[in-house]
A = this chain, B = another copy of it.
Amino acid sequence: MSPLARTPITIEHALLGFLLERPMHGYEIHQTLLESNALGLVWRVKQGQLYSLLARLEGEGLIRASTESQGARPPRKMLEVTDRGREAYHRWVIEPVQHPREVRLLFLAKLFCAHRLGPGYVSELVRRQEQEFRGQLDGLSRQMEEHSQSAFDELVYEYRIGQVEATLRWLSRCLDALARDPAGARS
């Protein structure tokens, strides 16, 4: 697939993290994400899409829903993670993203989730991501050498390299920064 092509998003896996702490219903998750901090700082998702993503997770067997009535209020679907969902979540959390542009949303969501799981997860995720992007730096440098046909081409590669380098510098600060925040760990 072309490096510029889009890949299916998997950010809905972040929702599993909330549900692993305790079962929640959709509107509760929506409320949580409305706050402009933590995951809500990174990921703005409308109610319609949130329910759509929850439906997808249910369809994939990663969560299960049970409806409970609540007197005069409309019935609500309590959602909880299945064993399969738990496994998928732990695999998802430490999987590095493929493209630097995916850091802005997908990687930050993974980092948030890893942080809540504990320092071991954070270091594993960051280590793998650094490895992935270091490898890409090599590739980009080679491409710039071999494929540039103009000053413009060269600037394009320099831009890409600059973004990856900036991300790597930032990654190197993640471990220390999050280690200072015991509030993140939940395990």
Contact = CB atoms under 8 A, between A and B. Distances in A.
Interface of A: 2, 4-5, 36-38, 41-44, 101, 103-105, 108, 111-112, 115, 147-156, 158-160, 162-163, 165-167, 169-170, 173-174, 177-178, 180-181, 183-184
Contact of A151 (B44, B108, B149, B180): B180
30 contacts: A4-B44, A4-B105, A37-B153, A38-B152, A38-B153, A41-B147, A41-B156, A42-B156, A101-B101, A101-B104, A103-B159, A104-B159, A104-B163, A108-B156, A111-B152, A111-B155, A150-B181, A151-B177, A152-B178, A152-B181, A152-B184, A154-B177, A155-B173, A158-B173, A159-B167, A162-B170, A163-B166, A163-B167, A165-B166, A166-B166
Contacts of A155: 111, 170, 173-174, 177-178
Contacts of A111: 152, 155
A30 to B, nearest CB: 15
Contact of A152 (B4, B104, B112): B112
Contacts of A112: 152
Chain A interface, DSSP helix/strand/loop, else mixed = helix
How many chain copies? 2
The 7 closest A-B pairs by CB, nearest first: A151-B181, A166-B166, A37-B149, A4-B44, A162-B170, A162-B166, A159-B170
Contacts of A177: 151, 154-155, 158
Given A159-B103, A162-B167, A166-B163, A36 B147 contact: yes
